[in-house]
Amino acid sequence: MPETTLRSLVDDLASPDPAVRDDRAYAALARLVQEGALGADDRSWLAVEMLERLDHSRVEARAFAPLVLAALVSAGDFEQGWVEDVTRWYVSEQDLRGHDPVLGWVHAVAHGADFFGACGAAGVGDPAALLDALGLRLVAPTTSVWRDQEDDRLACAIALVLTRDDVDEATAIGWLGHSRAMFAAGSPGPVPAEASNTMRTLRSLHVALDEQVLRDGEPVAVPHAEPVRREIASLLADVTPWFWRPRTA
């Protein structure tokens, strides 16, 4: 592919116009990656550009970079440093808008989750690090209550990591320690946004683990689904003791 064409698409990922950024640039880049239309050098260059975009001044550029990286992962490209760089951005990103009436989809929480979910589905990256990044995003202080299914996208990413055979039980539940610590430190009064986001994400995950988690549209086993569900139930029971309690054996 001509370098000028590829660079133009990358530049357009920072456009405030959703028709340019989402409908044209991202869609074209994802298609090129998925169809194998980019050579190794172009894919490597694209990955480097996306990692640099995580520090971009515009949230649109930051939020769409992990989506392109997710496409690269799904196509078979991966470097461990990607997880470290995306995690650094993901847990500290402050602009958590979902759909903006002017900018269209920003969706940093969902797009970052998609990257970690792609790593989970592809079986790459340290699963403990992937789960830890998602767990830290849940509890990161924020004033934004997610409204555009960010909770479901994050729960989906967690579930995809949990489908891996290299996840032992300790790893499968270890990331929940961040949520437990946050709930334990809570006090009466208005529910912090991050606590509300966490509760809804965990509820979504609890339901999914009792049904059929899908990977590429097909049901896939979650080896430690039951202990994860029990741990989530224990956590959620603590924040709604007036509503329900976990079953006893």
Digit-coded pLDDT (tens) for 24-33: 999 999 999 9
What does the block give as tokens for 78? 């991966």
pLDDT score at 204: 99
Q: Where are the domains of the chain?
A: 128-249
Indicate the DSSP class of residue 224: T
% the chain with pLDDT above 90: 96
List Cα–Cα distances, 22 to 71, 144, 160, 176, in angstroms: 14, 23, 25, 33
Average pLDDT, the chain: 97
Contact 68, 46 (CB under 8 A): yes
Contact 97, 150 (CB under 8 A): no
Residue 179, phi then psi, degrees to nearest 5 = -70, -40
Does position 104 have pLDDT exceeding 70, yes or no? yes
pTM of the model: 0.96
What does the block give as tokens for 41? 């050098």
Segment 57-90, tens digit of pLDDT? 999 999 999 999 999 999 999 999 999 999 999 9
